[in-house]
Amino acid sequence: MDLRFTAEEEAFRRDVRAFIRDNLDPVTHHKMLDGRTPSKAEIVAWQRTLNARGWATPSWPKEAGGPGFSVVERYIFLDELHQAPAPEPISFNVSMIGPVLAAFGTAAQKERFLAATANIDIWWAQGFSEPGAGSDLAALRTSARRDGDHYVVSGHKIWQGMAHHADWMFTLVRTDQQAPKKQMGISFLLIDLRLPGVTIRPIVTIDGRHEVNEVFLDEVRVPVDCLVGEENKGWDVTKFLLSNERTGIARIGMTKHLVRRVKRLAGADEAVLRKVAALEAELKILEITQLRILDAQRGSNAADPRSSVLKLKGVELRQAASELLLEAAGPAALEIASDEDPLGEDDAEWLGSIMPNYGILRAASIYGGSSEVQKTIVAKTLLGLS
Amino acid sequence: MNFDYSDDQRMLKDSIDRLVGERYPFDKRADHGAEPRGFSEAVWREMVELGLTMLPFEESLGGLGLGGVEMMIVGEAVGRGLLLEPLLPSVVLAGTAIAYGAAPAVAEAQLAAIMSGETLAALADRATIAAHADAGGIRLDGRAAVVLGGDHAELFVLPAGDSAWIVPADAPGLAVRGYRLHGGGGAADLTLDGVRVDETARIALPAVTRALEAGVAFLAAEAAGAMRAALDTTVDYLKTREQFGKAIGTNQALQHRAAEMLVEVEQAASAAIFAALVAGETDAAERARSTAAVKAVIGKTGRFVAQSAIQLHGGIGVSQEHVISHYFRRLTAIGMLLGGTDAQLKRLAALGGFTGSEQHLRAA
Ligand SMILES: Cc1cc2nc3c(=O)[nH]c(=O)nc-3n(C[C@H](O)[C@H](O)[C@H](O)COP(=O)(O)OP(=O)(O)OC[C@H]3O[C@@H](n4cnc5c(N)ncnc54)[C@H](O)[C@@H]3O)c2cc1C
């Protein structure tokens, strides 16, 4: 056994860090350090900078235009982005739809979408959840009726992150109302959000920000060549999408960034310093768990059910860190501020994002498989309890 | 021992519950908050008419001479409805400090203005201000941070040296930067540069301690009301929200989490009652210990209940259109205001806690 990365892997880490240092726009970096959300233009610019370097799509296979990273390189790359901190590649484009198109898309779809997706010429939204279909995703009701060369789609999607920035949405729709199991009548459809019948309504969240949306689809006519995979086989595509890209799921680098901020703000506050030490102890050990799982994944692409362990512990620690940051900042962090407020001095800690981020991070144990759902998976698949 | 409300207390509860029910349904709250001072002027007038601003003060000072239990009743309703009106900063904090600590004639005059609702006052609990006597009287220099209700206060009570001082907001040398707070209400950061006061403005420091204890008791009641409401809302949701073909509340994992919430909600209710009853205690050390314990417990319970309420709601719990996200923010703020949990525990430890180390049977 050996904990160390190889010399090549260490060199790769240095390359990534140097690249970020030299190429990340200072304003974007400042916003990330502050915990603010960068603008659409800033996110796109960074994604294009990464793309020019060949690093925009760390999880894509080489044939699809990816960099051909090993699992370890992928991990190191994301970890450096998280710790910098720099915007991570837009997950809807890079972690979700890209690999799906690479695996299930027709040649024409790959040609039409992959490069544009990597370069954010197309910004994607994820149109899965509905008011009645959250954890129970297969209960979705948005319907698609075949009419000549089109599907006619009607329904109500909710929680679409960044859909107001998006050009297209990958969507789950019901194409067979009579299917014997609810998973069997679902299809995976790409919808151009500029089509008539699409309405996007903002949802303001606990952090005061507008990042998620409702998407109403009213008799939207979607060309049949926007179907991914076979009709009524969308659930297979969905399972692939949801189990894909679990490498960085613990988000350890993001938590380290929060720990750094806690330490800067805590000064000599003994109580906070002791709690941050307790958190770091667990975080360090989680890193080892992460590496054990990574090592097992070298050379195999099979989903590891232990990724639920990473998600559960990773979210717990990230939420704890955001809470500790709030404690370290004290009541001054209760002042309502806006991401649009002027940037401060270079090294000054900005308190404006701390309370909003503490609030919105509660959602991290709800989306991407809620903690309750993750525990059920662990109990069933890892413990054989059911 | 008796934990029942008296008839008068029940009547008070009915009237404040009615006020909250009629004026503060959740869909009206955002409008109230959008008014220029961040709360509803109309509701504030109604609270004055109901006598809520007079409630805790001695009759000799023009008040109603009621006690901690009555303030708890009001606080719980304020927490349940997430009211934004400045009862806590102006009446409970600044008002109590003035009532206990100012010269009687000054107290009477200032309280008359505060009880009428016309004057808003605020008390600084995080201040580093120096007081120097010189030829011109007393000169104050320094700063105060996150002064609750300071964004629209006409009057400040500012601890400096061995006393606190009543300072009008327009005093020369006083700069006020007001802002809104997460969870509702506003605050201000103050800078004092050669602010002048005279002896009539003096408030005895123990009165500030009394005021902060009253403030913690009010926050405890507010938190208990907010937690109970968050739990009720959550339990309703568990019974009505369906996933996988059944109510999500049929899942034992969620039942247990809700049960844990109830345990904490009961603790919070007890903390509020304890704080209300201890407010009348004459032993200052006992009050200090109790206040620290109360504040630490509501901080911890509030955090757990708020986090759990969101978790059990799923995505809708983080929407600003849902009341749960507002209970979360208010409970988070309550945990941090007037001394956070760590600070309270440090105090409680320094005061020796409640139980000695000596063997029980050896004690008298
Ligand atoms: C900030 C944010 C961004 C999001 N972005 C997107 C997006 O871009 N695209 C998209 O399609 N969706 C998105 N979502 C939606 C997300 O996937 C759902 O919120 C998630 O699937 C949970 O569904 P729900 O909110 O309906 O909660 P519910 O499923 O109703 O869950 C409510 C509670 O019940 C629990 N529960 C449910 N079923 C069980 C069970 N069987 N056993 C035990 N407990 C159970 C849950 O864990 C939770 O605690 C986002 C959500 C949020 C909050």
| CA-based nearest residue to A326, from B299, B184, B318 | B299
Residues of B with CB under 8 A from a CB of A: 126, 145-146, 179-183, 187, 242-245, 251, 253-254, 303, 307, 310-311, 314-315, 317-321, 325, 328-329, 332-333, 336-337, 340, 342, 345-346
| Partner-chain contact A362 B179, CB within 8 Å | no
> Measured between beta carbons, which residues in chain A are less than 8 angstroms from residue B254?
372
**And the tokens for A349?**
């800690």
Q: Does A120 touch chain B (CB under 8 A)?
A: no
The pLDDT score that the predictor gives to residue B235 is: 98
Cα angle A313, A319, A364; round to 5: 80
Question: Any idea which fold A252-382 has?
Answer: Butyryl-CoA Dehydrogenase, subunit A; domain 3 (1.20.140)
- Considering only CA atoms, which of A230, A241, A311, A324 is closest in space to residue A277? A324
Whether cis (ω within 30° of 0) applies to the bond prior to A85 is: yes
Residue B350: pLDDT band by 50, 70, 90 thresholds?
A: very high
Determine the average pLDDT of the residues in B354-358.
Answer: 91
The whole-number pLDDT of residue B149 equals 98
Closest CA to A316 of A361, A383, A271: A361
Are the beta carbons of B320 and A204 separated by less than 8 Å? yes
Cβ(B68)–Cβ(B96) below 8 Å: no
Distance from the A143 Cα atom to the nearest Cα atom in chain B, whole angstroms? 19
Q: A 287-306 residues with CB below 8 A of B?
A: none
Q: What is the ipTM of this complex?
A: 0.97
Instruction: Domain A7-118: give its CATH code.
Output: 1.10.540.10
- Residues of chain B above pLDDT 90, percent: 95
**CB distance from A59 to chain B under 8 Å?**
no
Nearest ligand 1 atom to the CA of B311 is 49
Residue A208: left (phi > 0), alpha (psi -120 to 50), or beta?
left
Q: Is B206 in the pocket of ligand 1 (CB under 6 A)?
A: no
Number of Cβ atoms within 10 Å of the Cβ of A47: 23
Question: What is the identity of the amino acid at A13?
Answer: R
- What pLDDT, in 10s, does the model give residues A30-40? 999 999 999 99
Closest to A382 measured CA to CA, from A316, A324, A323, A306:
A306
Q: Cβ distance A31 to A86 under 8 Å? A: no
User: Is the confidence at residue A368, as pLDDT, over 80?
Assistant: yes
Which tokens hold the place of B108?
Answer: 């009477």
Distance of CA A361 from the midpoint of ligand 1 (Å): 14
User: Is residue B269 pLDDT above 90, yes or no?
Assistant: yes
Distance from CA of B123 to the nearest CA of A (A): 15
pLDDT, residue A235, reads 97
Give the pLDDT confidence score for residue A247 in this predicted structure. Answer: 61
pLDDT tens digits along A275-290: 999 999 999 999 999 9
DSSP letters for A102-144? HHH--HHHHHHHHHHHHTTSS-EEEE--BTTBSSSGGG---EE
**Gap from A367 CA to chain B (nearest CA, Å):** 7
Which residues in chain A are contacts of B179 at CB distance < 8 A?
Answer: 335-336
If one compares A245 and A272, the residue with the highest pLDDT of the two is A272
Chains A and B form CB pairs within 8 A to the count of 110
Give tens-digit pLDDT for B112-148.
Answer: 999 999 999 999 999 999 999 988 789 999 999 999 9
Name the A residues in 206-225 with CB < 8 Å from any B CB. Answer: 206, 208
Q: How confident is the model at residue A23 (pLDDT cuts 50, 70, 90)?
A: very high
Q: What are φ and ψ of residue A231, in 5° steps?
A: -60, 140
- Residue-level pLDDT at A251: 93
Q: What is the mean pLDDT of chain A?
A: 95
Is there an atom of ligand 1 within 6 Å of A63 CB? no
Taking only the tens place, the pLDDT of each residue in B180-190 is 999 999 999 99
Q: What percent of chain B has pLDDT over 70?
A: 100
**Can you tell me whether residue A194 is helix, strand or coil?**
coil
The structural domains of chain A, with segments of one domain joined by +, span 7-118, 124-238, 252-382
Q: Specify whether the CB–CB gap between B93 and B114 falls below 8 A.
A: no
Q: Is the CB of B244 less than 8 angstroms away from the CB of A367?
A: no
Angle (CA) A64 A98 A42, round 5°: 110
> Considering chain B, what is the average pLDDT of its residues?
97
| Strand B202-204, strand B186-197: pairing | unpaired
Q: Give which of B2, B148, B11 is closest to B73, Cα–Cα.
A: B11
pLDDT value for A239: 93
Query: Which of A80, A214, A245, A323 is an active site residue?
Result: A245
Beta-carbon count within 10 A of B105 CB: 9
| CA–CA gap between residue A286 and residue B36 (Å, rounded) | 49
Contact A360 B340 (CB under 8 A): no
pLDDT at position A21: 98
Q: Is the pTM of this model over 0.90?
A: yes
Q: What is the pLDDT of residue B305?
A: 98
B contact test, residue of A274, A336, A351, A366 with most B CBs within 10 A: A366
Q: Decide if A367 and B315 are in contact by the 8 Å CB cutoff.
A: yes
Nearest residue, CB atoms, A205 vs list B254, B320, B346: B320
Query: Is pLDDT above 90 for B87?
Result: yes
Mutation target among A135, A156, A160, A206 for the B interface, most CBs of B within 10 A = A206
Domain A124-238 in the same topology as domain A7-118: no
Predicted pLDDT of residue A301: 65
CA atoms of B95 and B88, how far apart (whole Å): 9
Q: What is the pLDDT of residues B96-113, one digit of tens each?
A: 999 999 999 999 999 999
Q: Does residue A9 carry a catalytic annotation?
A: no
Q: Which structural domains are found in chain B, ordered by start? A: 7-115 (1.10.540.10), 121-204 (2.40.110.10), 206-363 (1.20.140.10)
**pLDDT band for position A246 (cuts 50, 70, 90):** low
pLDDT of the residue at A3: 86
Residue A302, pLDDT > 80, answer no
- For residue A244, pLDDT beyond 80: no
Could you tell me if A134 lies within 8 Å of chain B, comparing CB atoms?
Answer: yes
Residues A312-355 have pLDDT tens digits of 999 999 999 999 999 999 999 999 999 999 999 988 999 999 99
CA distance A335 to chain B (A): 5
Q: Do B181 and A334 touch (CB under 8 A)?
A: yes
Chain A residue with minimal CA distance to B255? A372
Among A202-206, A233-237, A293-297, B283-287, the minimum mean pLDDT is found in: A293-297
Q: Does residue A358 belong to the interface with chain B, where contact is any CB pair within 8 Å?
A: yes
Q: Is B282 in the pocket of ligand 1 (CB under 6 A)?
A: no
Class of domain A124-238: mainly beta
Q: How far is A21 from chain B (nearest CA, A)?
A: 34
Is A372 touching B (CB cutoff 8 A)?
yes
State whether the beta carbon of B244 lies less than 6 angstroms from ligand 1.
Answer: yes
What pLDDT was estimated at residue B22? 97
Q: Which helix (H) or strand (E) holds B309?
A: helix B284-313
pLDDT in tens, B275-299: 999 988 899 999 999 999 999 999 9
In order of A332, B39, B42, B93, B178, the CA distances from B85 in angstroms are 21, 5, 10, 14, 16
pLDDT value for A245: 60
Mean pLDDT over B220-238 rounds to 98
Going from the Cα of A368 to the center of ligand 1, the distance in angstroms, rounded, reads 8
pLDDT band at A213 (very low <50, low <70, confident <90, very high): very high
